[in-house]
């Protein structure tokens, strides 16, 4: 019985973590080199990050919350992120 409860608790935690990742990250767009041409007249808040950067990694969950908050209040501002090491030219 205790093993079943532990398994159920583990599944619940995994589900919560996955939902958090899917829901929050869903409002932050991963941008690529076509961003400059396709942005039109939209207003963007963009995080230019490096995958190896510790500070950038710490900012990621906060950035995802920013994307979620902007979407939830109906803001016209779009939130994105771009790997600055891949698109540095």
Phi then psi dihedrals of residue 18, to 5 deg:
-65, -40
Going along the chain from its start, the domains and CATH numbers come out as 2-83 (3.40.30.10)
**Which of 13, 16, 19, 53 is flagged as catalytic?**
53
- Residue 41: what pLDDT? 78
Q: Residue 53 catalytic?
A: yes
* Residues in a beta bridge with 44: 78
* Residues in a beta bridge with 45: 79
With contact defined as beta carbons under 8 Å apart, do 68 and 24 qualify? yes
Q: Residue 24 catalytic?
A: no
pLDDT digits (tens, 9 = 90+) for 2-52: 666 555 555 644 443 434 444 445 799 998 888 877 777 789 999 999 999
Q: Which two tokens stand for residue 25?
A: 């990250």
């Amino acid at each position: 019985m205790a093993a079943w409860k532990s398994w159920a608790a583990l599944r619940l935690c995994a589900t919560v973590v996955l939902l958090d990742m899917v829901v929050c990250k869903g409002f932050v767009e991963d941008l690529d080199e076509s961003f400059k041409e396709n942005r039109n007249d939209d207003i963007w808040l963009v995080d230019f990050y490096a995958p190896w950067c510790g500070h950038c990694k710490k900012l990621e969950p906060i950035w995802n919350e920013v994307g979620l908050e902007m979407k939830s209040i109906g803001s016209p501002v779009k939130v994105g992120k771009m790997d600055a090491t891949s698109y540095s030219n």
